[in-house]
Amino acid sequence: MTIRNPGPEEYRQLSPEEKKQLLANGNRVEDWSTFFVCDPFFPDLIRNTSFSGEIRIQGLHPERRSHDGRTLEVGICNSEIRDCRIGGQTVIRNLAYCANFNLGQGCILSDIQEIYTRPGAKFGCGIRNPGEEESSRRRISLINEAGDRGVPPFPGMTGSDAFLWSRYREDSELMRRLEEITDRSFSGSDRGEIGENTFIQGCRSLIDLRIGSFCRIRGADVLEDLSIDSSGDEPTSIGFGTILRRGITGPGCSILDGAMAEDFVLASHVTLTKGLRLSHCFVGDNSTIACCEVSNSLIFPFHEQHHNNSFLIASLLMGQSNLAAGATVGSNHNSRSADNELHAGRGFWPGLNVSLKHPSRFASFTLIAKGSYPSELDIPLPFSLVNNNEHDGCLDIIPAFWWNYNMYALVRNSRKYAARDRRIQPRQHLEFDFLAPDTAAEIRSALELLDQWDPTGEADNLEAPRGLVERSRRRVRILKAAAARQAYREMLLYYIASTLLPGLEEKGAGLIAGLPGDTDTADPLEWINMGGQLVPERKVDLLRDEIRSGNLAGWQDIHRRCEKWDKTYPAEKIRDAWACFLLLEGNIPDAPGWQRLFTAAEQIQEQIAGEVYKSRSKDFLDPFRTVNFQNEAEKTAVLGTIDGNEFVRQIRKESDVMIRRFRSVRQLLK
């Protein structure tokens, strides 16, 4: 039988026979005049329970409910319940105290010591209730421990929201308007909520909660002052020993195995587990954090940090990052106060036992070799390997390291993130490609720097000016600079060709006619990574203007604007690639210029496939890979072969297709 949500007029008081049956079953009702039910109602399904305040039960009829192999009979028993609305066909067992909650249909709640809502509960939101002082507003202190980038959290907060609010602190009117919007959009309440078909079992203390539908909570220790988004398509799970206070969780999250978090916002499909300690953080979509400590950080999507002794604090990580075991990113302040920060572009990878000082800044896809780095760093060269060379007493940087020496990992990571995106309803377009407008801009800047440091362009190794890249007087060596220059140019050419390719295939030369016709009006755009979504800076400035003016009056309006950005991103990206092409050519490209571009693209695509094969084949050719095998046959049975590697074969096939596409467009533009 289907139980629906009844209207107020469908509730009724109990008949004398129903009252008699309830009392006979060992129940106690403080005031019969405030006890209401909807039909169908079977009073024999309620036993040994005390009711007080206003009670509304939507309907109960005999049925057995199953969850995780356990079968329970619908009904209420062995509980104390005060001022609650109880959805139809619920299972309630052994609630020592339950007060001020609305329970959705089909919920299963059992063995809970206390579950209640306090007056004026805010459910993790950074709002002011009517009559409260501004000092009562709660903020999460992102990026900076001193709190001067504090952001009031709210349900549905995205990475772009957190970035907008924490980054533009000099814009006081924007800050004021965002607080007003949040206060209008959300409110406190004296009643908590639990959505339909939610399962909660074996918990100690549940206070001030708004929980979505189909959520699974088992064995939690303390859940307090939270909004937990969950649905049938994207259920959230909370497991044994967890302690969560003052937070917001997005849909599809998993918080398990003793994780502890306070003052936080989780986007969708975030996993916290294995004793993690998290505080004052925003964690982006599809991130996994375990076994470590993370504090005061704004983390964009696809962050991985799951080793037992890593530490991250006071940082802005712009996505697709990975912290290895023993990495200490934070706490080493070079200041009289804990007010320094670390900012890193996409693809930030500090290696084993890396220790970094704040403040520091890193270009996209910086790989940091094992070591304790004694001074602050400002690494402007993307795709670099950074090494603290203690033997020679210097800092070594190999620019374009990923492209030249580990193409397999570089290409695979881009595919991996796209394949692992578990969002059912994406709220932002995330850029997974390692060659995109943000990295293209960094590559152009890196080429300019290399030209400044070596105007001849001939040096294979050179030195950066002291005190510029590292806050010290020791040498900073740029190794394999000539190879890096070549790699950066190849990356730019490939970015241009692969970005323009779909439009040229669709529109032919007509695409070119719709683009800026001279180099003066076709400068590459300035781009901002807004929580994993790449946006031209001018659009972010316009967004700020519209918020300040009141044209965008709510978070839904702001989010709709971000959705519009998604739709225009491909065209903006094409315009950016076109501007890069004009810079390289120095003028509007003629037919030979187009031929050079797509001939180079064919060669680079072949190079990508070859380097993917070459970099992965090192793992199979290394003689030390054989030491744990009795013979070659055993090794092949366990590891396979390079020619049988599925990803290598996939890239070979895709490269063949791309080469044909490049060749076809090249013929079209003759």
Convert the pLDDT of each residue in 316-327 to its tens digit.
999 999 999 999
Contact partners, residue 634, CB within 8 Å, separation at least 6: none
* Least confident span in 60-69, 349-358, 438-447: 60-69
The mean per-residue pLDDT over the stretch 117-124 comes to 97
148 and 44 both lie in a single domain:
no
Average pLDDT, stretch 592-608? 96
Tokens representing residue 565 in the block: 């950005």
Query: Is 536:525 a contact under the CB 8 Å cutoff?
Result: yes
**What pLDDT sits at residue 338?**
78
Instruction: Taking residues 565-589, report their average pLDDT.
Output: 92
Helix (H) or strand (E) holding 593: helix 591-621
Query: Mean of the pLDDT values across residues 440-467?
Result: 95
Answer yes or no: do 355 and 442 share one domain.
no
Average pLDDT over residues 147-171: 96
CA dihedral 120, 122, 127, 130 (to 10 degrees): -10
Cβ neighbours of 361 (radius 10 Å) = 16
Distant-in-sequence, close-in-space partners of 68: CB < 8 Å, separation ≥ 6: 199
Q: Which two tokens stand for residue 504?
A: 């040229």
Q: What are phi and psi of 13, to 5 degrees?
A: -85, 170
The more confidently predicted of residues 335 and 228 is 228
Q: Given a cut of 50, is residue 2 above it in pLDDT?
A: no
CB 125 within 8 A of CB 186: yes
User: Mean pLDDT across the stretch 285-314?
Assistant: 94
Rg of the chain in Å (alpha carbons): 29
Domain closes at, from 566, 585, 604: 585
Contacts of 27 (CB under 8 A, 6+ apart): 46, 47, 48, 49, 50, 51
Hunting for tokens 């064919």 — which residue is that? 602
The CATH number of residue 357's host domain is 2.160.10.10
Q: How many domains does the chain have?
A: 4
Indicate whether 456 and 553 sit together in one domain. Answer: yes
pLDDT bin (cut points 50, 70, 90) of residue 524 is confident
* Residue 474 counted as domain residue: no
**Beta-ladder partners of 414:** none
Q: Tell whether the model's pLDDT for residue 179 goes beyond 90.
A: yes
Report the C-alpha gap between 444 and 437 in whole angstroms.
11
Q: What percentage of the chain's residues is helix, strand, coil (to nearest 5)?
A: 35, 30, 40
Are 247 and 199 in a shared domain?
yes
Q: Across residues 243-257, what is the average pLDDT? A: 97
Of 216, 51, 54, 223, the closest CA to residue 124 belongs to 223
- Give the domain range for residue 161: 118-130+137-362
- Over residues 80-115, the pLDDT tens digits come to 999 999 999 999 999 999 999 999 999 999 999 999
Structure confidence at residue 69 as a pLDDT band (50, 70, 90): confident
| 131/11: higher pLDDT | 11
Place 427 in a pLDDT band, splitting at 50, 70 and 90.
Answer: confident
Q: Are residues 69 and 145 in the same domain?
A: no
pLDDT band at 3 (very low <50, low <70, confident <90, very high): very low
**Dihedral of CA 397/403/406/409: which sign?**
positive
Mean pLDDT taken over the chain: 93
303 sits in which H/E element: none
- The Cα-based distances of 365 to 298, 300, 498, 516 in angstroms read 18, 14, 20, 31
pLDDT band at 455 (very low <50, low <70, confident <90, very high): very high
Residue 86, domain member (yes or no): yes
Contact between residue 615 and residue 409 where contact means Cβ atoms under 8 Å apart = yes
Residue 559 CA to residue 429 CA, distance in Å, equals 12
Burial of residue 652 (number of CB atoms within 10 Å: 0-12, 13-18, 19+): middle
Examine residue 492 and state whether it is found in any structural domain, yes or no: yes
pLDDT of residue 1: 29
**In this structure, are residues 59 and 44 in contact, taking their beta carbons and an 8 Å threshold?**
no
- The closest alpha carbon to 278, from 250, 312, 249, 304, belongs to 312
| Domain boundary, last residue among 331, 362, 393 | 362
Q: What is the mean pLDDT of residues 445-466?
A: 94
Task: Specify whether 339 is located in the same domain as 433.
Answer: no
Residues 237 and 333 occupy one common structural domain: yes
Q: Let me know whether 90 and 164 are in one domain.
A: no
378 residue type, one letter: D
Extract the tokens encoding 325.
Answer: 């075991």
Residue of 243, 238, 265, 242 lying closest to 253 (CA atoms): 238
C-alpha–C-alpha distance, residues 152 and 432, integer Å: 29
Q: Which of 303-312, 349-358, 374-383, 592-601 has the lowest mean pLDDT?
A: 303-312
C-alpha closest to that of 136 among 150, 144, 126: 126
The CB density around residue 274, as the number of other CB atoms within 10 Å, is 16
Say if CB 385 and CB 466 are below 8 A apart: no
Amino acid, single-letter form, for residue 415? R
Domain end position, chosen among 315, 331, 362: 362
Assess if residue 163 is contained within a domain: yes
Are 169 and 187 spatial neighbours (Cβ–Cβ below 8 Å)? no
Domain membership of residue 154 (yes or no) is yes
Is residue 368 domain-resident? no
Same domain flag for 575 and 621: no
The rounded distance, in Å, linking the Cα atoms of 59 and 41 is 5
Note the helical H segments in 508-590. Answer: 510-513, 537-549, 555-585
Res 521 pLDDT > 60: no
Structure tokens at 256: 């398990």
Residue 373 within a domain: no
Q: What is the pLDDT of residue 587?
A: 83
The SS3 assignment for 36 reads: strand
Token pair 């094992």 is found at 370
Q: In the β-sheet with 394-398, what is the strand arrangement from edge to edge?
A: 349-350, 367-368, 385-389, 394-398, 475-478, 462-463
Please enumerate in sequence order all residues whose Cβ is within 8 A of that of 611, keeping only pairs 6 or more positions apart, or say none: 403, 407, 408
- Is 640 found in the same domain as 547? no
Model pLDDT, residue 512: 82
**Confidence at 442, pLDDT banded by 50, 70, 90:** very high
Cβ atoms of residues 38 and 13 within 8 Å: no
Residue 375 lies in a domain: no
Buried b / exposed e across 635-648, counting CB within 10 Å, b at 16+? beeeeeebeebeeb
Give, for 385, the enclosing helix (H) or strand (E): strand 385-389
- Secondary structure (3-state) at 151: strand
Q: What is the pLDDT of residue 10?
A: 87
pLDDT confidence of residue 588: 85
Do 629 and 551 belong to one domain? no
**For residues 468-480, average pLDDT:** 96
**Neighbour count for residue 63 (Cβ, 10 Å):** 15
The number of C-alpha atoms within 13 Å of 572 and in the hemisphere containing its C-beta is 20
Beta bridge partners of 50: 28, 80
Based on the domain organization, do 580 and 630 belong to the same domain? no
- In tens, the pLDDT along 537-576 reads 999 999 999 999 999 999 999 999 999 999 999 999 999 9
What amino acid is encoded at 238 in this protein? Answer: I
